[in-house]
Amino acid sequence: LEDAAAATPAALLCPAPSPPRPVPVLPRPAPTTKMSSSESSDHPLWDEEEEDDSGVDDILILACLREGSRRRKRKKKFRGSLPGRHNVPRDILGGHDRIYRDYFADQCVYNEKHFRRRFRMSRSLFLRIVSKVEAHDDYFRQKPNAAGVLGASPIQKVVAAFRMLAYGMSADSLDDYVRMGESTIIECLNHFVQAVVEVFGEEYLRAPNAQDTARLMAVNSARGFPGMLGSIDCMHWKWDKCPTAWRGAYTGHKDGPTMILEAVASKDLWIWHSFFGLPGSLNDVNVLRRSPLFQSLTCGTAPQVEYIVNGNKYTMGYYLADGIYPAWATFVKAFSSPQGNKKINFTGAQESAMKDVERAFGVLQARFAMVRGPARLWSKEHLWYIMQACVLLHNMIIEDERDVDEDFNYHQESNGIPVLKPQDYQHRDPFVLENFLKIHQEIEDKSSHERLRDDLVEHLWAIHSSS
């Protein structure tokens, strides 16, 4: 044996290691094929791969969630000065100095006439509004930023808002003069119109009190319309940014979606009643049905009136209206086809006095181009504040520019008119409800409407004959 081993080559005694036997890889079944328990037990390698894949998926999901959280934190933490973002050095204080030198310095560049034309009001009235708004809303106060640098001044912010209202300009077009960003200027506008309505609304958007009613009736009686409180009509404001889903509801006889303003104006163009926000698909009668115009009258809080026309006594004032309005006792309309000299004379006088509200709409749109052009804001609430602020500023300008020799006092004063308490409505007092329905019937009485119009025809013809 030893001799045989010695004669055997070394290669035979110590053979080279054989390569490892390849592990057979089983084909992965289709996702739709469901394996039975016996089949799954026959393929242990498939179970291991499935577990490995699920573990990788979990790791990837956690990594994505962690990265998203890190990005959100970084986005909230850094604002304004981000790498790669351009910050405009606007020189905000320089913008205030320019505005001050142009209009408010002792030796200003532009005089009172230029100021009146560009801001639609006198400088004294403008400064009064600025001081009241600054005291009401902390947003208009000049404050430093995080770096200790002072921001825009109150005058700077109000000038930006006024320029948008007066000229209907875009916010970006004012950047190079007022030295404020586009978003900041829009924010100034929204704060300004809301502050103006909250500060001055009670005085300049009120319904006529007893003194106002007596003065209005005296002025209109001299025009041949005793008992007249004003003229009523509606105006449409085009809504350029109306949402697509609402366009059908807000589109009527005008081109495109609009919002409606119902207003009552007197001879001096003061707007005594404004009701804004209804869709443009409604007509004037639909708006009237939803309007609070006769709310004080039906609740018994309206001032008491009494006047005589052609020998007949009336105790309810009226408004001049066009033909679409209903034949109520509170409206006086012209004849659509007047026959005879008396009716022709009355129709001409009624249409002439009816132009008060149309002139008021024209002056309102001329002063504030924003309500003349299409509205370019999305929020209905912001548009409501803008329209109310324009009406309010319109009334303030009328009061400020009124002739000094005429005794017109528009300040709200207590007139001793009883006001119904909330308990009266909560408990539904039968007397209050009965009186409410009775007044409604009197307002919508067609016979009273025709009788009043016939008396006015005779009254105006008597004036015409005597002259």
334-388 pLDDT, tens digit each:
998 888 999 999 999 999 999 999 999 999 999 999 999 999 999 999 999 999 9
Q: What is the pLDDT of residue 86?
A: 72
Q: How confident is the model at residue 407 (pLDDT cuts 50, 70, 90)?
A: very low
Q: Which residues contact 225 (CB under 8 A, 6 or more apart)?
A: 320, 332, 349, 353, 456
How would residue 403 be classed by pLDDT, with cut points 50, 70 and 90? Answer: low
Confidence at residue 436, expressed as pLDDT on a 0 to 100 scale:
60
Specify the DSSP element, H or E, that contains 308: strand 307-309
pLDDT value of residue 83: 65
97: pLDDT strictly greater than 90: yes
- Spatial contact of 393 and 368, defined as CB atoms under 8 Å apart: yes
Percent over 90 (pLDDT), the chain = 52
Which pLDDT value is given to residue 50?
55
| Mean local confidence (pLDDT), 425-429 | 48
Confidence class for position 446, pLDDT limits 50, 70, 90 = confident
Residue of 150, 167, 146, 158 whose CA lies nearest to 187? 158
Interval 248-282: pLDDT, tens: 999 988 889 999 999 999 999 999 999 999 999 99
pTM above 0.85, yes or no: no
Residue 238 pLDDT? 94
What average pLDDT does this structure show over 419-428? 46
In this structure, what are the phi and psi dihedrals at residue 324, rounded to the nearest 5 degrees? -75, -20
Q: What is the predicted pLDDT for the residue at 69?
A: 82
Q: Tokens 């577990």 map to which residue?
A: 51
Tokens 């006529």, residue?
208
Is residue 285 pLDDT above 70, yes or no? yes
pLDDT band at 423 (very low <50, low <70, confident <90, very high): very low
Q: In whole numbers, what is the pLDDT of the chain averaged over residues?
A: 82
| Helices vs. strands in the chain: H and E counts, helices first | 19, 7
Give residue-wise pLDDT tens across range 45-76: 445 555 566 677 888 888 888 888 887 766 55
pLDDT of residue 438: 72
Please report, in angstroms and rounded to a whole number, the separation of the first and last CA atoms in the chain. Answer: 162
With pLDDT > 70 as the criterion, what percentage of the chain qualifies? 78
How many residues comprise the chain?
Answer: 467
pLDDT for the residue 12: 42
What's the rounded Cα separation, in Å, for the pair 182 and 160? Answer: 10
The DSSP-derived string for 119-188 is HSS-HHHHHHHHHHHHHH-GGGS--B-TTS-B---HHHHHHHHHHHHHH---SGGGHHHH---HHHHHHH
pLDDT tens for each residue of 116-152: 999 999 999 999 999 999 999 999 999 988 888 888 9
Report which of residues 57 and 439 the model is more confident about. Answer: 57
Tell me the per-residue pLDDT of 228-237, one tens digit each, with 9 for 90 and over: 999 999 999 9
Which has the higher per-residue pLDDT, 36 or 224? 224
CA-to-CA dists, residue 83 to 79, 189, 282, angstroms: 11, 31, 52
Return d(Cα 336, Cα 350) in angstroms, integer.
12
Q: Is the pLDDT score of 410 beyond 80?
A: no
146 phi and psi angles, rounded to 5 deg: -65, -25
In tens, the pLDDT along 149-207 reads: 888 999 999 999 999 999 998 889 988 889 998 999 999 999 999 999 999 999 999 99
Is pLDDT of 23 > 70? no
The pLDDT of residue 449 is 84
pLDDT at position 406 over 50? no
Domain ranges of the chain: 92-204, 210-466
Predicted confidence (pLDDT) at residue 11 exceeds the cutoff of 50: no
Evaluate if residue 306 carries a pLDDT over 50.
yes
Q: Using 50, 70 and 90 to split pLDDT, how confident is the model at 435?
A: low
Contacts of 356 (CB under 8 A, 6+ apart): 230, 231, 265, 266, 267, 269, 320
Q: Tell me, what amino acid is at 123? A: R
User: How does residue 397 score in pLDDT terms, banded at 50, 70 and 90?
Assistant: very high
